[in-house]
Amino acid sequence: MGKIIAIANQKGGVGKTTTAINLGGCFGVLEYKTLIVDADPQANATSGVGLDPKNTKNIYDCLINGTHPNDLIIHTQNPNLDILPSHIDLVGAEMEMIDLPNREYMLKAALDKIKDNYDFIIIDCSPSLGLITVNALTAADSVMIPVQCEYFALEGLGKLLNTIKIIQTRLNQNLEIEGIVLTMYDTRLRLANQVVDEVKTHFQELVFDTVIHRNTKLGEAPSFGETIIMHDASSKGSINYLNFAREILQKNDVTKIDNDNKKIELDNEL
């Protein structure tokens, strides 16, 4: 049975999509069958793995029309990595769902049908705490929170944690916090270290050891429709996300394969 991890933070541009597609890409290469669910009308994860959101069937159909997700899921060029694409139409889905009695459980109902087919299902949420994100958190086993190493990094985190608490109380008592991952760390900025210290002081063991560095290859890979490990396996971004995938596997006590499960050291790794 696959583990469903929602990647959420209502703050925009913190690395949710970059984390969803590259973590998915690394799980895939490590031979864990993985599905990315693009739950953001911006459809950045969809285009980031090389699909044109205009030309693909998408998540809207399974939420609103009850289409089986298997009829919408597309294999990517990355081994073991599938995607349930998104489309700008998803903006309208929230309005259409609002009066339905099971409105918070529609994504869960869809993912329950395919959960057994995957080791991991990663949901890329939009920068909002609207109904689709509530659906993602209701469907998920855990939530991963990317935090960018910049000014106001902690801004809005209280609200997010409060929303998670409400979901745990009312909609999904099994929802856990997978952890906080620090993103876009820039070794040249003293501020970045201050943010790392601040986040670790506040959230302690919730913070992953692996820190994702700022790396231009991570920014350019989506324009090639490739995850970082396919685009440039030796780049710092690829090594960071591979280490991150392995840290999650260890944390979850997943021991399927990966004999070479050693952390790859970087000169300037934290």
Which of the stretches 73-81, 110-118, 132-140, 212-220 binds ligand ATP when contact is defined by CB under 6 A? 212-220
Q: Which is nearer to ligand ATP, 58 or 183 (CB)?
A: 183
Query: What is the C-alpha separation between 181 and 107, in angstroms, rounded?
Result: 25
Measured from the CB atom, the residue of 2 and 127 that comes closer to ligand ATP is: 127
Rank residues 17 and 172 by Cβ distance to Mg ion and give the closer one: 17
183 binds ligand ATP (CB under 6 A): yes
- Tell me which H or E stretch contains 181: strand 176-183
Site for Mg ion in 5-34 (CB under 5 A): 16-17
From 26-34, 40-48, 104-112, 196-204, span contacting ligand ATP (CB under 6 A)? 40-48
Q: Is 34 in the site for ligand ATP (CB under 6 A)?
A: no
**Is there a contact between 78 and 28 (Cβ–Cβ < 8 Å)?**
yes
Q: How would DSSP label each residue in 226-269?
A: --HHHH-TTSHHHHHHHHHHHHHHHHTT--SS-TT--PPP-TT-
Task: Output 40 or 61, the one with its CB closest to ligand ATP.
Answer: 40
Residues in the interface with ligand ATP (CB under 6 A) total 20
Asked if 86 is part of the footprint of Mg ion (rule: CB under 5 A), the reply reads no
Residue 43 binds ligand ATP (CB under 6 A): no
Number of residues that bind Mg ion (CB under 5 A): 3
Tokens of 80: 């073991």
Using CB under 6 A as the binding rule, whether residue 46 contacts ligand ATP is answered as no
CB of 109 to ligand ATP, least distance (A): 24
SS3 of the chain: helix, strand, coil, percent, to 5: 45, 15, 40
CA proximity to 19, closest of 1, 5, 3: 5
Q: Which two tokens stand for residue 128?
A: 């909002």
Q: Are 99 and 72 in contact (CB under 8 A)?
A: no
Interface ranges with ligand ATP (CB under 6 A): 12-18, 40, 42, 44, 126-127, 183-184, 212, 214-215, 218-219, 237
